[in-house]
Chain A
């Protein structure tokens, strides 16, 4: 039972390159989230998917796209990477949707540097 997994763990890109960050969960949760973490900024929501087949913008969606491939997988794509996208990216899943108890569980992160 791996929980939430992310690949790759580290990545270096040149400005203008594209890449996709992968996230998979085996927790059978409906909701999945992508955050970025920058020093002193806490966690900021990029996109989320409340359920399979739906995606919505978060606080900082510009420069990113997402795909909810199925219930288990939620990917984040950078079409043309910029140095401002250098960050640590976390995927999270959430138990019970719109229910009384719902908790988010995080993956180990992808550390991205854009040169």
Chain B
């Protein structure tokens, strides 16, 4: 089935560093969602994007809807240990109820 290409797959960073990750698709999307999943829990919605070029922040997190509408980016500034987890992107095309999910970026923060 179709899935988004999410990168990197995993990353180790030092506490205080900034983090960047992205998702790319062969399809044009009209909505991008970013989730975080902690071990043993369900994904929690972080940011929703609805327009090409849109830049939205949620605390230290900032996400952008790529202008080609085929990609999206998530940045985390000044990472802290509780940022550890798996970050997923999800995209939706116009006229469908269904989202396609990326395979996730596993983030580990070294104190």
Residues on B with C-beta less than 8 A from A58 are 98
Mostly helix, strand, loop or mixed at chain B's interface? loop
Could you tell me if A44 and B99 are in contact, using CB atoms closer than 8 angstroms? no
Among A43, A45, A60, A90, the most chain B Cβ lie within 10 Å of the Cβ of A43
Among A42, A94, A108, the most chain B Cβ lie within 10 Å of the Cβ of A42
CB-CB under 8 A for A104 and B42, given A42-B102, A45-B98: no
What 0/1 readout, one digit per residue, does chain B (86-103) give for beta carbons within 8 Å of chain A? Answer: 001010100101110111
Complex Cα distance A60/B95, Å? 21
| Chain A: interface size category | 20 to 34
Nearest residue (CB) in A for B103 is A42
Q: How many residues of B contact A (CB 8 A)?
A: 24
Q: Write the nearest CB–CB distance from B45 to chain A, whole angstroms.
A: 6
Could you tell me if B48 and A97 are in contact, using CB atoms closer than 8 angstroms? no
What 0/1 readout, one digit per residue, does chain A (28-50) give for beta carbons within 8 Å of chain B? Answer: 00010101000011111100101
Partner of A106, one of B42, B50, B92: B42
Complex Cα distance A59/B101, Å? 12
Could you tell me if B95 and A42 are in contact, using CB atoms closer than 8 angstroms? no
CB-CB under 8 A for A108 and B88, given A45-B98, A58-B98: no
Q: Write the nearest CB–CB distance from B7 to chain A, whole angstroms.
A: 13
Complex Cα distance A33/B43, Å? 14
Residues on B with C-beta less than 8 A from A31 are 97
What 0/1 readout, one digit per residue, does chain B (32-62) give for beta carbons within 8 Å of chain A? Answer: 0101000011111100101000000000000
A105 within 8 A of B: yes
A-B contact pairs, 16 of them (CB 8 A): A42-B3, A42-B88, A42-B104, A43-B90, A44-B1, A45-B98, A48-B97, A50-B97, A60-B1, A101-B48, A102-B31, A103-B45, A106-B43, A107-B42, A108-B41, A109-B41
